[in-house]
Amino acid sequence: MAVYEHDVLVIGAGLAGMRAALAAQQLGADVGMVSKVHPVRSHSNAAQGGINGPGLGEDGGPWEEHAFETTKASDYLGDQDAIEILAKEGGREVLQAEHWGVVFSRKPDGRMAVRRFGGMGKARTFFVGAITGQAILHVLYEQLLKPSVYQAMRTYEEWFVTSLIVDDGQCRGCVAMNIRTGELHAITAKATIICTGGLGRVYEPSTNALICTGDGIAMAYRAGAPIMDMEMVQIHPTTLKGSGVLITEGARGEGAYLLNKDGERFMSKYAPNLMELASRDVVSRAEQTEIDEGRGVDGCVFLDMRHLGEQLIKERLEEIYEIARDLVNIDITKELLPIQPGVHYIMGGIKTDVDGLSPMPGLYAAGEAACVSVHGANRVGANSLLDTLVFGRRAAEHAVPWLQGKKFRPIPESVVEKDRKMIAEIVDRPANGDRVAKIRRDMGLSMSENVGLFRSPDKLEKQKAILKELRARYEKVGVEDKGKVFNTDLLFHIELGFMLDCADMIVTSAIERKESRGAHTRLDYPNRDDEHWLKHIALQRQPDGTEKMFYIPVTITQFQPMERKY
Amino acid sequence: MKVKLKVKRTDPGTGETSYSRYQIDTVESTTLLDALIQVREYEDGTLALRCSCRSAICGSCAMRVDGRARLACRAKVIAITRGNQEHEITVEPMGNMPVIKDLVTDMELFWSKIRQVKPYLQPEGPEPEGEYRVPNEAMLDLTHTMNCIMCGACVSDCTVLEVDKNFIAPAALAKAYRFVGDPRDAHQVERLRQYSEYGGIWDCTRCNMCVEVCPKGVAPMNRILQLREMAIEAGITNNAGSRHTKIFTKSIEDGGRLNEVWMLPGSVGMFNVPRLVKEAPGALKMLRAGKLPLSQMIPPGAPGSHKISGMDRVKNVIRKSAALKPKKAEVVSDGA
Amino acid sequence: MALKYAFWPGCVSKGAAPELYVSTNRVAQALGIELVELDTATCTGAGVIQEQNPEMGDALNARTFAMAQQLGLPLMNICSTCQGIESMVQDKLAKHPDYLAKVNDILADEGLHYTPDLEIKNFLWVLVEDFGLDRLKSMVTRPLTGLKLGPFYGCYILRPSEILGMDEHPDRNKYLEMVIEAVGAEPVDYEGKKKCCGFPLLTINRDNSLKQAGNHIHEAQDLGADALVSPCPLCHLNLDAQQPAAKQVTHYNIDLPILHLPQMIGLAIGIEPKDMRLDHHVVSTKKLLSKLPAPAATASR
């Protein structure tokens, strides 16, 4: 029988994962948490600008306002019951984080300070300089180090999950490789919460870390869970050219301007009210239009922070100052910073309800890997951190009572055989001149080219064909490292497989949605079409291996869809 | 631009080490991490290293570059080689830790030290309804310490850790400061007491190596020094370290110069016979070599002790410098 | 070009390392460097005062700086630790003008005032940057050919590099090797040369302190060094005076003489070893001196 058994298994140890693990442990469950990197290496640490606290600060307005602005930003594709929960429960999560020790910046009266963020008329984004994600991630990790928690929980650090275990239609944990030994094991559980984050590396360049390869989304898909809204890929307005490294929206929140090559604040043409703080998709499209129409320089426009003053920058945007100085030799207190739109976030993911439960019993998801959907067709900045905490907790709070008193069949260790064979086959493949890195790069560059900000049917179809070709190459390419210990060559190979699955889903959904909504812009269908397309597109692998596409209606409670202007 | 690398390999099975040499062509703005990734992806897929974010926030890619620990993603090749394309960059795994494979080390030592300092906020009393109200300066100060991405560079190059694995080491002590310096934590004195024990703040040799190698400006040694100041202020002085500081300071306050002779008994304790006996042979050797200054035989503070001239002016400066101390940050008030 | 400096000798050269004081003065005289000793200046604090009372350290150091400025001279020290602390205080005062103003209020009582534009250099930097290696080479009458010398910098003259002028003088972390070569000897490359001698820990954790010293001495000796040379008298104390104790703690068979930087220079420009108190070390320099090539006929100081 399987050696490792838990009540709740959390896959991924970023903000959502650790929040879920903490909540589950506090409810008395036996928790296991798997992560392919050490928890503090998770990509949550790259979130810079802040976390929204609806209804918290005095000037941010009531939580209902945040619910509305989130719904509007989602271009009305967000499910409003979920958005209401996010807005209602979000403030409490931010306070909890502060009580746990997050060093939020303060106002002179000692209360937490706020800054403006995109898509919102009032300031309700709480922050720690420009390292908010890292600050919260580290504090969550600290909470897990409390002896009562640390001794009760088991963390599988640097274990790589290769597939989910599905028994009798129920998710029963996962098969994972201990990266340090190369051995595969079954880690079984009664409830599994997937918190594996996004898939930015499907594109090249992107703001995402190298580990963001859509593992959980692909595995859930392969296991038969429905995946939703995959065409909704957020393209962040301010990333560095070449590397794609993120420059926080918080800079604009503190007052930075966007300028074209003529020194104009061009956002006045596209979003005269909110200007640089319009919704991200609006800003990215504006920038790209400026660039395409010849008013950019070298594929970039400029972020101007000179007028913010050295003190503010050092106090609130220090991280950005250092990134600009160290990566591109620019002093933002004195010079303009060239930036361009870059892939940043996937609004889509594993379909869940407001408790993080997917239609497959025993399978939960939270954070970027999930699609509840709170972000719809476009995410508001600083809502992702909120999403991870609120729904990470909720998933645990639903899973733990649910699994009480139920019977669960034990899972045999032999369940790892399938993956063991797959890995052996990959390792045994002879060199054939191709390399995983080449295929990955070809995928990334072509996705950026053909499935980017402005999409057209011929480019989408072209990408479909490219992906088919890449998959054929993938089935034949081998790895150079044949060892067992820390074989990253092999891990990259498996990750590429996950990414190709995700890329396929993105293209399929993008071809299907014949309208423009939020982050998805079709040149042949430039308008929003609520009559035909106010619905989610879901993809689900069937037992016979084919893919079924179906639609899921959008839950509307308070806010009827309106025209979206900033 | 040509980049030449000499990378240390460790075979995970046998533990045997060797060096692999690579030469690649890449752009001028390349970082060391870019170069290593290029090697891994196109030249040698067996090279193992940890990396993730490429923007110095995840802390994965710390390694020794030309003998000194650095974050590979922040190390520009052209800055390392100073433009000399023939310079072969030596890349090795972090020090003070066992090596798993190539550039991947076992960081359990690092994490266990972090756990040792009770690295979680310990507030006391009822939780406020809203947030704890604390001054922004306190949070800004702690943010500098929170900048720590746990990369391990400081631990890799710590000179004390090389000779004594009991030392809690820079990263954990910097983290310790983060709690002692947090007005919301209610266990400051208890923490200071814990950190003042063997292996803690007084075991740092003050070599600045951690300050030099930290890629995020955390300056762990400076945090350790702050902890020392706070510990002395909190009255935790029953240890050689704070006694050493006291006798040193007294020596300057009394005579303007360091009294080497009285450093030893003043620090280890005037009646610490076993220790004094241990030092006797060394002291005799110094005496024979004419290196024990007789002028310093009288302890600082006693009549006739060695003083520079003009001590009244020195004392004036010392007295008035007390007013230069900044005020301590406190919790302003609890609750909404 | 005549070189003249306000001279801060440090505490140790006037206490437990008189050989340093004596050799510095002899060598400076021979090289034509005029030193005006600040005998009413106080200890820099060595980082120890700074543990309890950084403000006291700032004020006392600013006072020393102001004294040098009153004489209109740059400041020279003969101790890596002094250099590190002085650079740190200089940096802090330059970055916080309000704080500096308050410090100056205190100094005003003695008619002193410090403006942040004083040059503070260790003798090692003076040799390379102000005096010049070529000029030094021209004054060598007894090149130390055949001698292998291990440089030992002392932490505070190397770190943190940002306040030690390494941007402007990137080779400052190589000067000791350069000077060793200039006097005709061969520098030994060993890992410990930039590490810590352990002195600050001597009275706090004796074993760790002596292990550090012992390890570095052993490493250099193993690689064939005839002696170590250091610009820091605190390092000298741990490496020389404590060498017998270090031998006991590490069980290494170490027996390596330790030279102060001016002593090495002095030997090369023909000053008599006795005049530099080379016979007053704890670890005997006899063997080293016997390896020295014969002095040139014209050497007479």
Chains A and C touch each other (3 or more Cβ pairs < 8 A): no
Residues of C in contact with B256 (CB under 8 A): 40, 42-43
Cβ distance of B252 and C60 shorter than 8 Å: yes
Give C253's strand partners. Answer: none
Is A19 noted as a catalytic residue in this protein?
Answer: no
Residue in chain B nearest C47 by alpha carbon: B206
How distant is the Cα of B252 from the closest Cα of chain C, in angstroms? 7
Identified catalytic residue from A201, A236, A280, A541: A236
The predicted structure's pLDDT at residue A315: 86
Which of these three, B79, B105, B131, is where a domain ends? B105
The predicted structure's pLDDT at residue B295: 77
Distance (Å, whole) CA A283 – CA A270: 8
Kindly tell me if the per-residue pLDDT of C1 is higher than 70. Answer: no
By CB atoms closer than 10 A (0-12, 13-18, 19+), residue A457 is: middle
Q: How many domains does chain B have?
A: 3
Residues of C in contact with B248 (CB under 8 A): 46, 48-49
Residues of C in contact with B320 (CB under 8 A): 59, 106, 109
Secondary structure letter of residue A520 according to DSSP: B
State the ipTM, two decimals.
0.92
- Contact status, residue A565 vs residue A548, Cβ threshold 8 Å: no
Q: How far is CA B120 from CA A43, A191, A355, B198, in A?
A: 21, 28, 29, 21
Structure tokens at A412: 């045999």
Question: Does residue B19 sit in helix, strand or coil?
Answer: strand
> Using CB atoms and an 8 Å cut-off, which of residues 275-294 of chain C contact chain B?
277, 280-282
Cβ distance of B132 and A98 shorter than 8 Å: yes
- Contact status, residue A9 vs residue A34, Cβ threshold 8 Å: yes
| Beta strands B62-65 and B88-92, pairing class | antiparallel
Distance (Å, whole) CA A219 – CA A492: 15
The pLDDT confidence band at residue B164, using thresholds 50, 70 and 90, is very high
What CATH number belongs to C141-291?
Answer: 3.40.50.11810
CB proximity list for B265: less than 8 A, separation 6 or greater = B272, B276
| Beta strands B88-92 and C33-37, pairing class | unpaired
> Using CB atoms and an 8 Å cut-off, which of residues 114-143 of chain C contact chain B?
none
By CB atoms closer than 10 A (0-12, 13-18, 19+), residue C101 is: exposed
- Taking the domains of chain C in order of start, what are their residue ranges? 3-122, 141-291
Cβ distance of C16 and B293 shorter than 8 Å: yes
Mutate to test the interface with C, among B253, B308, B317 (most CBs of C within 10 A): B317
Task: Give the structural domain span for B155.
Answer: 108-233
Helix axes B240-255, B220-233, angle to 10 degrees: 80
Looking at the fold, whether B218 and B270 belong to one and the same domain comes out as no
A90-122 pLDDT, tens per residue?
999 999 999 999 999 999 999 999 998 888 889
Looking at the fold, whether B82 and B135 belong to one and the same domain comes out as no
Structure tokens at A254: 């503190």
User: Closest to C208 (Cβ–Cβ): which among B163, B246, B268?
Assistant: B163
For residue B17, the tally of other CB atoms under 10 A from its CB is: 13
What phi and psi, each to the nearest 5 degrees, are found at residue A46? Answer: -85, -10
Short-list B213, B237, B230, B256, CA closest to B177:
B230
Distance (Å, whole) CA B158 – CA B204: 9
Cβ distance of A328 and B29 shorter than 8 Å: yes
Looking at the fold, whether B165 and B227 belong to one and the same domain comes out as yes
Distance (Å, whole) CA C35 – CA C41: 14
In the chain, the amino acid numbered A487 is N
- Domains observed in chain A: 4-232+345-413 (3.50.50.60), 235-342 (3.90.700.10), 416-530 (1.20.58.100)
Cβ distance of C55 and B324 shorter than 8 Å: yes
For residue C131, the tally of other CB atoms under 10 A from its CB is: 19
The predicted structure's pLDDT at residue C296: 63
The pLDDT confidence band at residue C297, using thresholds 50, 70 and 90, is low
Residues of C in contact with B267 (CB under 8 A): 203-204
Cβ distance of C51 and B225 shorter than 8 Å: yes
Distance (Å, whole) CA A545 – CA A555: 30
Cβ distance of B321 and C55 shorter than 8 Å: yes
For residue A195, the tally of other CB atoms under 10 A from its CB is: 34
Specify if B307 maps to a domain: yes
Cβ distance of A99 and B41 shorter than 8 Å: no
| Beta strands A31-35 and A4-11, pairing class | parallel
- Who has greater pLDDT, A496 or C51? A496
Structure tokens at A313: 């920058």
Mean pLDDT of chain B: 91
The pLDDT confidence band at residue B301, using thresholds 50, 70 and 90, is confident
Residues of B in contact with C191 (CB under 8 A): 67
Looking at the fold, whether B99 and B124 belong to one and the same domain comes out as no
Looking at the fold, whether B258 and B199 belong to one and the same domain comes out as no
Looking at the fold, whether B173 and B203 belong to one and the same domain comes out as yes
Residues of C in contact with B202 (CB under 8 A): 204-205
The pLDDT confidence band at residue C30, using thresholds 50, 70 and 90, is very high
CATH number, domain containing residue B178: 1.10.1060.10
Cβ distance of C203 and B325 shorter than 8 Å: no
The predicted structure's pLDDT at residue A164: 97
Question: Does residue B237 sit in helix, strand or coil?
Answer: coil
Specify if B332 maps to a domain: no
Structure tokens at B133: 């109200």
Mean pLDDT within C108-130: 96
Scanning A376-512, the segments in alpha helix (DSSP H) are 383-403, 417-428, 436-450, 457-476, 488-512
User: Closest to B207 (Cβ–Cβ): which among C110, C196, C205?
Assistant: C196
What is the per-residue burial (b if ≥16 Cβ within 10 Å, else e) of A531-558?
Answer: eebbebbbbbbeeeeeeeeeebebbeee
Distance (Å, whole) CA A142 – CA A157: 16
Cβ distance of B321 and C59 shorter than 8 Å: yes
Residues of C in contact with B92 (CB under 8 A): none
Which helix (H) or strand (E) segment holds residue C4: the answer is strand C3-8
User: Closest to C211 (Cβ–Cβ): which among B163, B206, B249?
Assistant: B163
- Contact status, residue A98 vs residue A36, Cβ threshold 8 Å: no
Distance (Å, whole) CA A244 – CA A212: 14
Question: Does residue A49 sit in helix, strand or coil?
Answer: coil
CB proximity list for A66: less than 8 A, separation 6 or greater = A52, A54, A55, A60, A87, A90, A120, A124
Distance (Å, whole) CA B9 – CA B15: 9
- Contact status, residue A131 vs residue A48, Cβ threshold 8 Å: yes
Short-list C26, C81, C67, C75, CA closest to C233:
C81
Mean pLDDT within A370-378: 96
**Total beta-carbon pairs less than 8 A apart between chain A and chain B:** 166
Looking at the fold, whether B137 and B221 belong to one and the same domain comes out as yes
- Contact status, residue C61 vs residue C85, Cβ threshold 8 Å: yes
Mean pLDDT within B253-271: 85
User: Closest to A486 (Cβ–Cβ): which among B48, B59, B182?
Assistant: B48
Short-list A13, A8, A9, CA closest to A138:
A13
If you search the block for the tokens 């970082």, which residue do you land on? B31
Residue in chain B nearest A95 by alpha carbon: B131
The pLDDT confidence band at residue B288, using thresholds 50, 70 and 90, is confident
The pLDDT confidence band at residue C299, using thresholds 50, 70 and 90, is very low
For residue A8, the tally of other CB atoms under 10 A from its CB is: 28
Question: Does residue A374 sit in helix, strand or coil?
Answer: coil
Distance (Å, whole) CA A285 – CA A252: 16
Looking at the fold, whether B124 and B225 belong to one and the same domain comes out as yes
If you search the block for the tokens 């506090």, which residue do you land on? A26
- Contact status, residue C65 vs residue C76, Cβ threshold 8 Å: no
Mean pLDDT within A527-550: 96
In this structure, which topology does domain C3-122 adopt according to CATH? Glutathione S-transferase Yfyf (Class Pi); Chain A, domain 2 (1.20.1050)
The predicted structure's pLDDT at residue B331: 45
Cβ distance of B41 and A435 shorter than 8 Å: yes
- Contact status, residue A95 vs residue B127, Cβ threshold 8 Å: no
Cβ distance of C241 and B291 shorter than 8 Å: yes
Mean pLDDT within A483-503: 97
Quote the percentage of chain A above a pLDDT of 70: 100
Kindly tell me if the per-residue pLDDT of A393 is higher than 80. Answer: yes
Cβ distance of B257 and C42 shorter than 8 Å: yes
The predicted structure's pLDDT at residue B332: 39
User: Closest to B134 (Cβ–Cβ): which among A43, A110, A135?
Assistant: A110
Identified catalytic residue from A19, A115, A185, A252: A252
Question: Does residue B235 sit in helix, strand or coil?
Answer: coil
Kindly tell me if the per-residue pLDDT of A390 is higher than 80. Answer: yes
Cβ distance of C63 and B164 shorter than 8 Å: no
What string of DSSP letters covers A114-146? EE--TT-SS--EE-STT-HHHHHHHHHHHHHTS
CB proximity list for A334: less than 8 A, separation 6 or greater = A306
- Who has greater pLDDT, A327 or B201? B201
Looking at the fold, whether B64 and B146 belong to one and the same domain comes out as no
Mutate to test the interface with B, among A18, A22, A38 (most CBs of B within 10 A): A38
If you search the block for the tokens 């390379």, which residue do you land on? C128
Residue in chain A nearest B48 by alpha carbon: A488
Mean pLDDT of chain A: 95
Specify if B199 maps to a domain: yes
How distant is the Cα of C281 from the closest Cα of chain B, in angstroms? 6
Distance (Å, whole) CA A495 – CA B42: 17
The pTM is what? 0.93
Distance (Å, whole) CA C28 – CA C20: 12
What phi and psi, each to the nearest 5 degrees, are found at residue B171? Answer: -60, -45
Cβ distance of C54 and B229 shorter than 8 Å: yes
How distant is the Cα of C219 from the closest Cα of chain B, in angstroms? 14
Strand order in the sheet with A370-371: A370-371, A349-351, A227-228, A535-541, A547-553
How distant is the Cα of C39 from the closest Cα of chain B, in angstroms? 7
Looking at the fold, whether B120 and B228 belong to one and the same domain comes out as yes
The pLDDT confidence band at residue A524, using thresholds 50, 70 and 90, is very high
> Using CB atoms and an 8 Å cut-off, which of residues 170-199 of chain C contact chain B?
170, 191, 195-196, 198
The predicted structure's pLDDT at residue B298: 82
Question: CA-based Rg of chain B, rounded to a whole angstrom?
Answer: 25
- Contact status, residue C200 vs residue C47, Cβ threshold 8 Å: yes
Specify if B329 maps to a domain: no
The predicted structure's pLDDT at residue A42: 97
Cβ distance of B324 and C102 shorter than 8 Å: yes
For residue A49, the tally of other CB atoms under 10 A from its CB is: 31
Residues of A in contact with B184 (CB under 8 A): 101
Looking at the fold, whether B229 and B135 belong to one and the same domain comes out as yes
A435-471 pLDDT, tens per residue?
999 999 999 999 999 999 999 999 999 999 999 999 9
Specify if B177 maps to a domain: yes
- Contact status, residue B295 vs residue C88, Cβ threshold 8 Å: no
User: Closest to B282 (Cβ–Cβ): which among C11, C102, C244?
Assistant: C244
Residues of A in contact with B41 (CB under 8 A): 435-437
Mutate to test the interface with C, among B80, B158, B159 (most CBs of C within 10 A): B159
Structure tokens at C280: 């007053």
How distant is the Cα of B113 from the closest Cα of chain A, in angstroms? 12
The predicted structure's pLDDT at residue C217: 98
Looking at the fold, whether B112 and B228 belong to one and the same domain comes out as yes
Mean pLDDT within B119-134: 91
Is A154 noted as a catalytic residue in this protein?
Answer: no
CB proximity list for B17: less than 8 A, separation 6 or greater = B8, B9, B10, B11
Short-list C54, C125, C111, C118, CA closest to C90:
C118
A236-253 pLDDT, tens per residue?
999 998 888 999 988 998
The predicted structure's pLDDT at residue B329: 54
Short-list B261, A3, B59, A106, CA closest to C15:
B261
Short-list C27, C30, C44, C38, CA closest to C5:
C38
Specify if B35 maps to a domain: yes
Distance (Å, whole) CA C86 – CA C187: 28
Kindly tell me if the per-residue pLDDT of B336 is higher than 60. Answer: no
Distance (Å, whole) CA A219 – CA A11: 11
Kindly tell me if the per-residue pLDDT of A212 is higher than 50. Answer: yes
The predicted structure's pLDDT at residue B276: 84
Distance (Å, whole) CA A514 – CA A529: 8
The pLDDT confidence band at residue C300, using thresholds 50, 70 and 90, is very low
